[in-house]
Amino acid sequence: MATYTEYPPKGYRVRMSTYWWLGKWPYLKFTLREISSVFVAWFVIETLLQINALIGGPAAYTEFQDFFRNPLVIALNVISLFFVVFHTFTWFNLAPKAMAVRMGGKRVPNILISGPNYAAWVVVSAVLAWLLLRG
Amino acid sequence: MHKQRSNEPFVWLLFSAGGVVAALFIPIQLFLFGVAFPLGWLNGPSYDTVRGLVHGPIGRLYLLVLCTLPLFHWAHRFRYTLYDGLQIKHLNELVNTFCYGGAIVGTAIAAYLIWQIP
């Protein structure tokens, strides 16, 4: 008689290596894309620290800018920038696959879906840069 | 048979919204605050400029969206990174608590700090 088990019965299963994603570029790309989220979270932490300094007043805010001048923080931010831009490109290139829009029985070309995303990115970046660079 | 409802669509929605916010808004700000201003390539904004940008309702709402949705994006992706990448499936509950719990705690901290902006 079959007894109840919490997990499905164990058949023969090939144990995959923990490093399965290192062998092929598409797998590595997938994993790098997933890891980009860690750098997204790092940016949020930096932003929260900056808001905290802003609450402390002008002196605290100016003093806090030294944190960003620390060479280790700059190095980390350069790496983070690489990963976040990688996220942006992979995210927009994924959009046509997630939204398969059909018009007149034909699929709308990928570029018509990812294109507006890239245009929005340029506009948003320009507006934010303008706001922050005024003085 | 009664089927248990999954909360997967809801967390996926947060993940997806956070992905859009991160893709659109983070690169330029990370470049300016993290690289260009500290290295002196460009002059950073003064305290008054930054405060002027974020002390109104729109500025606060922007910061709240910028700090919360990307955290849920991180939670979802990082959870699956550990799940698929390192295959630590036996620690599922712990990983979920760490990821989504972290995003919820981060949201609370963000809301508190943004409320305090003078």
Give the tens place of pLDDT for each residue, B13-59.
899 999 999 999 999 999 999 999 999 999 999 999 999 999 999 99
Does any domain span residue A98? yes
Chain A residue numbers with beta carbons less than 8 Å from the beta carbon of B42 are 133
pLDDT at A95: 80
**Average per-residue pLDDT for chain B:** 90
Q: What is the pLDDT of residue A8?
A: 60
Domain count, chain A: 1
Q: How confident is the model at residue A6, as a pLDDT?
A: 61
Region B95-118 average pLDDT:
94
Cβ-count burial of B22 within 10 angstroms (0-12 exposed, 13-18 middle, 19+ buried)? buried
Q: How far is B93 from chain A (nearest CA, A)?
A: 15
- CATH code of residue A105: 1.20.1300.10
Instruction: Note whether residue A111 is domain-resident.
Output: yes
Q: Show the low-confidence residues of chain A (pLDDT under 70).
A: 1-11, 135
Kindly state the average pLDDT of the residues B85-114.
89
Helices A71-98 and A25-55: crossing angle, nearest 10°?
Answer: 120
Backbone angles phi, psi at A107, to 5 degrees: -75, 135
Position A7: which residue type?
Y
Higher per-residue pLDDT: A113 or B98: B98
SS3 annotation, chain B: CCCCCCCHHHHHHHHHHHHHHHHHHHHHHHHHHHHHCCCCCCCCCCHHHHHHHHCCHHHHHHHHHHHHHHHHHHHHHHHHHHHHHCCCHHHHHHHHHHHHHHHHHHHHHHHHHHHHCC
B-chain CB neighbours of A44 within 8 Å are 66-67, 70-71, 74, 106, 110
Mean pLDDT confidence for B90-103: 88
| Contact by Cβ (8 Å): B88, B82 | yes
What is the rounded distance in angstroms from the CA atom of residue B106 to the CA atom of residue B97? 13
**Which of B37, B113, B115, B117 is the best residue to mutate to test the A interface, defined by the most A CB atoms within 10 Å of its own CB?**
B113
**What's the pLDDT score for residue A19?**
78
B contact residues 21-60, partner A, Cβ 8 Å cutoff: 22-35, 37-39, 42-51, 53-54
Comparing CA positions, the residue from A13, A80, A95 lying closest to residue A47 is A80
| CB count in 10 Å sphere of residue B95 | 20
Kindly report each contact of residues B98-107 with a partner whose C-beta sits within 8 Å and lies 24 or more positions away, as own/partner.
Answer: B99/B74, B99/B75, B100/B11, B100/B72, B100/B75, B102/B71, B102/B75, B103/B68, B103/B71, B103/B72, B103/B74, B103/B75, B106/A44, B106/A48, B106/B67, B106/B68, B106/B71, B107/B67, B107/B68, B107/B71
How far is residue A35's CA from residue B78's CA, in Å, rounded to a whole number?
A: 7
Q: Does A49 fall in a domain? A: yes
Using a CB–CB cutoff of 8 Å, tell me whether B87 touches chain A: yes
pLDDT at A65: 93
CATH number of B12-116: 1.20.1300.10
Domain contains A2: no
Give me the domain span that covers residue A43: 20-133
Percent of chain B with pLDDT over 70: 97
Answer whether A43 sits within 8 Å of B30, measured CB to CB: yes
| CB-based contact B117 A34, cutoff 8 Å | no
